[in-house]
Chains A and B, each alone.
Chain A
Amino acid sequence: MGAWRIQGESGEWEAVIGLEVHAQVISASKLFSGASAVFGAEPNTQVSLVDAGFPGMLPVLNEYCVEQAVRTGLGLKAKINLTSVFERKNYFYADLPAGYQISQYKYPLVGEGTVILDMPDGSTRPIGIERLHVEQDAGKSLHDQDPKRTFIDLNRSGVALMEIVSRPDLRTPEEAGIYLRKLRSILRYLGTCDGNMEEGSMRCDVNVSVRKPGEPLRTRAEIKNVNSVRFVMQAIEHEARRQVRAYEEGGKVVQETRLYDSHKGETRPMRAKEFAHDYRYFPDPDLLPLRLSPEYVDVIAATLPELPDEKKDRFMRDYGLSPYDAGVLVVERETADYFERAARGGEGVGRGGRDAKQVANWVISTLFGLLNAKGLPVTRSPVSADHLGKLVDLIADGTISGRIAKDVFEIMGETGRDPADIVAAKGLQQITDTGAIEAAVNQVIAANPDKAAEVRAGKVALLGWFTGQVMKATGGKANPAAVNAILKKKLSG
């Protein structure tokens, strides 16, 4: 991908983008209370008195949330800080019951790390992670239920979040999109966040500034709470162009918080906050510094799954896949697992040693199409990995042609049946018996004496037409190579 430049009257501008992703930790209960963290319950049904900030209530840290955050840090190849501190971020809002959010500030749990972007041209680009810290979510304000009032649901209040802050290393909307998808992929591999942006379990704040290439950083604007990858990309595009326009018109860009309006396709400042924020962070006196041992971190590191980057490398190395194919297959762990099972054969199934590139092609071009059309995840694919592997075997050993294989796949997609059974039941085996093929060839030549003469007179191009007729006559089952060979012999003089 080339550099993204915005053409202004005064020259070219580039965007400088950093993302702050709030990822909801997968856990049963909340960060500091025993209320359920599950999404989608009736209002205020998953609220403890701690979450509602009642007098005398105290927070007690959920050990699994810490483990999940450490796992995520390790997945981001980041430094785990063995001592971290929970602080209070103080501000008033109706869905922030205690009047402060317990977060981490000076001493986050996770320090610097890296996310590798897989660019469409097969190259990679590292993006720096500045930090990851653990914090509580706020509740939810519903502004549109009543003309005069805002309603508050505290179910989300206290749910554990990881705030993952990138360095301002991103330069284009596309890179931001690739970064978000990659981060989501890593979190899902780790099982630490489901990455569901629609349900709000992954939310994004976007920091955007523009500058002339080579300049130091200029003032940035923060676009809050963008809730899809597509909107993040659009918001960056609109915001960067807005800032360029502002500078080109001799104006300024002010440091402010903006919202992205996807209907109007523009960012606008949040309704001017009546009061400037001053969060007055200080260490939460209800909690103590969190200290972890190196052994604790080592145990988590030892149980880390193979992550997309390593898997991609291995797929390229072991299966000879292109960077692009490997990259596509590893985005979701389930897809990668499917591919590997199909390519290698599961326990006691298939023969292994299949043509992995063929398998990859089938997965990427055919299986994905089927799943898309049916709106199914790969884990619920009607075509099992074992069956897809068998289908590739049937092509490889000449039982069916590639063309018939497409038909067989279609039936597999509808019925979930074993391809060998389908082939047998429908009699779709390739005809390799030369006698039968020869008979069909003879029939076609006899029915088309004029065209046969033309071929014999040198119009070789017509051979293909004959091949097609023979294939048609055999219901597509004839081995195309055998058909060609016999045709050539019969029409060559």
Chain B
Amino acid sequence: MALTRDQVRAIALLARVRVPDEGLEPMAKEISGILHWIEQLNEVDTEGVEPMTSVVAMTLPMRPDAVDDGGDPAAVLKGAPEPVDGFYAVPKVVE
């Protein structure tokens, strides 16, 4: 499938990766090429095949309900770009 500029723009917005306008066309071409190559999968008959989400043949392990983590705000805020009063801070969001 060939992607359009607008589709690339939409995906880029969804992924929050800025692609400058002049980059849309080349990116559309590049991704279209890869998708075209990927589409050879359509030759494979997958009728009745269960999709494989993990190669691990076991059930999900669980942990007991115990509090053994957290409690160290300095550790989670260390390295934050703009911490304020124990909070992370971002440009103001209007809902």
Judge A-B direct contact (beta carbons within 8 Å): yes
The residues of A with any CB-CB pair to B shorter than 8 Å are 27-29, 33-36, 42-52, 54, 60-66, 85-86, 92, 94, 141-143, 145-154, 259, 270-271, 274-275, 278, 280, 283, 285, 287-291
CA distance A287 to B68 in the complex (A): 21
Lowest 9 A-B CB distances belong to which pairs? Answer: A35-B70, A64-B65, A34-B69, A63-B62, A151-B87, A48-B69, A152-B88, A34-B68, A291-B59
Q: State in angstroms the CA–CA spacing of A383 and B21 once bound together.
A: 75
A49-B76, A143-B92, A152-B89 known; 13 other A-B pairs, CB under 8 Å? A34-B66, A34-B67, A36-B71, A60-B61, A61-B62, A63-B62, A92-B16, A94-B88, A145-B87, A149-B91, A152-B87, A288-B56, A289-B54
Asked if B38 is an interface residue, CB under 8 A from chain A, the answer is: no
Q: Quick one: which of B60, B91, B93 has the most chain A CB within 10 A? A: B60
CB distance A48 to B70 under 8 Å? yes
Cβ contact within 8 Å between A150 and B91: yes
Are A142 and B87 in contact (CB-based, < 8 A)?
yes
**A46 CB contact (under 8 Å) in B58, B66, B71:** B71
Chain B contacts for A51, CB-based, 8 A: 70
* Tally of chain B residues near chain A (CB < 8 A): 37
Q: B62 contacts A52, CB within 8 Å?
A: no
**Which residues of chain A are within 8 angstroms of B60 by Cβ–Cβ distance?**
61, 86, 287-291
- Chain B residues whose C-beta falls within 8 Å of the C-beta of A141 in the assembled complex: 93
Please report whether the interface of chain A is mostly helix, strand, loop or mixed according to DSSP. loop
Report the Cα distance A146→B56, complex, angstroms.
48
Closest residue of chain A to B93 (Cβ to Cβ) is: A150
**Inter-chain contact A147/B53, CB cutoff 8 Å:** no
Is B77's beta carbon under 8 Å from chain A? yes
Q: Which B residues fall within an 8 A CB radius of A?
A: 13-14, 16, 53-54, 56, 58-71, 73, 75-77, 82, 84-95
Shortest A209–chain B CB gap in Å is: 23
| Most chain A CB within a 10 A radius of its CB, from B13, B77, B89 | B89
Q: Are B68 and A151 in contact (CB under 8 A)?
A: no
Contact B13 A275 (CB under 8 A): yes
- Chain B nearest CB from A157 CB (Å) reads 10
How far, in whole Å, are A270 and B94 apart by their CA atoms in the complex? 9
What are 20 pairs between A and B in contact, CB < 8 Å? A35-B69, A42-B86, A44-B88, A47-B76, A51-B70, A61-B61, A62-B62, A62-B64, A63-B64, A64-B65, A85-B53, A86-B60, A94-B93, A148-B91, A150-B89, A151-B88, A152-B89, A275-B13, A280-B14, A288-B60
Chain B contacts for A34, CB-based, 8 A: 63, 66-70
Instruction: Give bound CA distance, A46 to B70, whole Å.
Output: 5
B93 to chain A: closest CB distance in Å? 5
Nearest neighbor of B68 in chain A, beta-carbon distance: A34
Which chain B residues lie closer than 8 Å to A287 at the CB level? 60
